[in-house]
């Protein structure tokens, strides 16, 4: 069944899928990778982002991506507020490991239940002019439903990377990830920096959510399907490395797509996670992690 057409299409589909995975995982690369916060509720925030896109798309006909960008500041403040609660209740008292995990489990359930109570459990979808269209480049067909999320995810990743590496606040976030005490000794407030970083991470979920609902239907509990995958991407990328996360997402996307094309889709997760184990066996700190 092997053919060049299939290989080319499988590769392109994998890269596009990887881009989407990167958009979902980038926030977690900040919270889990850099801030050491096991935010298990991350996919639930993504679903909340999808619901925001659905509400504004169905009421006002706005483009889902535009909605994602518009509501990102709201998500930022929600994220910052949640970090404050997390800090006051757990981090300050040194109970962040187990109790903090339980806290984020709770946040996840609260988000799901609120969505169920307010909007019900029916599947939600959005309309946009590009959904359903495909552009043909030679033998490769590129569905816009996947291309738009890829383009937005790439821009988002580049933006976050530049922000973290070129701005004062960005460098402060990287510094707090490396040595909180040293930062404190230099007169900076690590709690404020972490609060900002957590808000930034949650803001990215608004955009990721809008991309998810472009690709397929969403219901309140669908985020759970992504928990394993996004954590795997962050670990594979090297815990907090943004370029590493992006490449890891690409590897996972391409592996899934090629395996689904040539071996059968049921092998895709096994091969993708096998790849993760293999990488970690060779490089325990991930692709771009510090040794």
User: Interface with other proteins by CB under 8 A: which residues?
Assistant: 1, 3, 5-6, 9-10, 13-14, 16-17, 20, 112-113, 116, 118-125, 127, 131-134, 141, 143, 145-146, 215-217, 219-222, 225-226, 229, 256-258, 260-262, 264-266, 268-269
Cβ distance 47 to 110 under 8 Å?
A: no
For the bound state, the minimum distance from the C-beta of residue 238 to other proteins, rounded and expressed in Å, comes to 23
Residue with Cβ nearer other proteins (89 or 144):
144
Q: What's the number of CA atoms in the CB half-sphere (13 Å) around residue 204?
A: 30
For the bound state, the minimum distance from the C-beta of residue 247 to other proteins, rounded and expressed in Å, comes to 19
Residue (of 11, 23, 45, 31) closest to 218 by Cα position: 45
Residue with Cβ nearer other proteins (170 or 220):
220
For the bound state, the minimum distance from the C-beta of residue 269 to other proteins, rounded and expressed in Å, comes to 5
Residue with Cβ nearer other proteins (176 or 235):
235
Q: Rounded to the nearest 10 degrees, how much is the dihedral formed by the CA atoms of 253, 246, 30, 289? A: 110
Question: Which tokens go with 216?
Answer: 């397929």
Q: Kindly report the backbone phi and psi dihedral angles of residue 155, in degrees, each rounded to the nearest multiple of 5, phi listed first.
A: -65, -40
For the bound state, the minimum distance from the C-beta of residue 69 to other proteins, rounded and expressed in Å, comes to 22
For the bound state, the minimum distance from the C-beta of residue 268 to other proteins, rounded and expressed in Å, comes to 7
Residue with Cβ nearer other proteins (195 or 257):
257
Find residue 136's DSSP bridge partners. 141
Residue with Cβ nearer other proteins (159 or 265):
265
Residue (of 212, 221, 219) closest to 122 by Cα position: 219
Residue with Cβ nearer other proteins (94 or 264):
264
Question: Which tokens go with 194?
Answer: 């972490």
Question: Which tokens go with 193?
Answer: 């920096």
For the bound state, the minimum distance from the C-beta of residue 76 to other proteins, rounded and expressed in Å, comes to 26
The span from the CA of 116 to the CA of 37, in Å, is: 26
Cβ distance 248 to 286 under 8 Å?
A: yes
The span from the CA of 170 to the CA of 214, in Å, is: 30
């Amino acid at each position: 069944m092997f053919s060049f057409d299939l290989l080319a299409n499988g590769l392109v589909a994998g890269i596009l899928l990887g881009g989407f995975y990167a958009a979902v995982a980038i926030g977690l690369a900040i919270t889990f990778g850099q801030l050491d916060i096991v935010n298990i509720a991350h996919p639930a925030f993504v679903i909340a982002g999808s619901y925001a896109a659905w509400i504004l798309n169905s009421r006002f006909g706005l483009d889902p991506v535009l909605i994602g960008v518009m509501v990102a500041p709201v998500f930022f403040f929600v994220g910052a507020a949640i970090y404050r609660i997390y800090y006051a209740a757990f981090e300050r008292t040194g109970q962040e490991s187990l109790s903090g995990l339980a806290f984020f489990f709770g946040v996840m359930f609260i988000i799901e239940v609120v969505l169920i109570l307010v909007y019900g459990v029916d599947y939600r979808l959005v309309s946009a002019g590009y959904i359903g269209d495909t552009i043909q480049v030679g033998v490769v067909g590129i569905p816009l439903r996947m291309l738009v999320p890829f383009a937005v995810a790439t821009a988002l990743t580049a933006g976050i990377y530049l922000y973290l590496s070129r701005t004062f606040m960005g460098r402060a976030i990287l510094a707090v990830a490396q040595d909180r005490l040293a930062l404190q000794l230099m007169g900076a407030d690590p709690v404020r920096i972490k609060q900002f970083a957590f808000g930034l991470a949650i803001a990215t979920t608004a955009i990721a959510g809008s991309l998810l609902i472009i690709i397929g239907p969403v219901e309140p509990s669908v985020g759970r399907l992504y928990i394993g995958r996004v954590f795997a991407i962050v670990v594979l990328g090297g815990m907090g490395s943004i370029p590493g996360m992006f490449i890891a997402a690409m590897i996972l996307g391409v592996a899934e797509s090629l395996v689904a094309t040539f071996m059968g889709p049921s092998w895709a997760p096994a091969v993708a996670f096998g790849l993760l184990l293999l990488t970690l066996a060779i490089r325990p700190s991930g692709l771009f992690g510090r040794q």
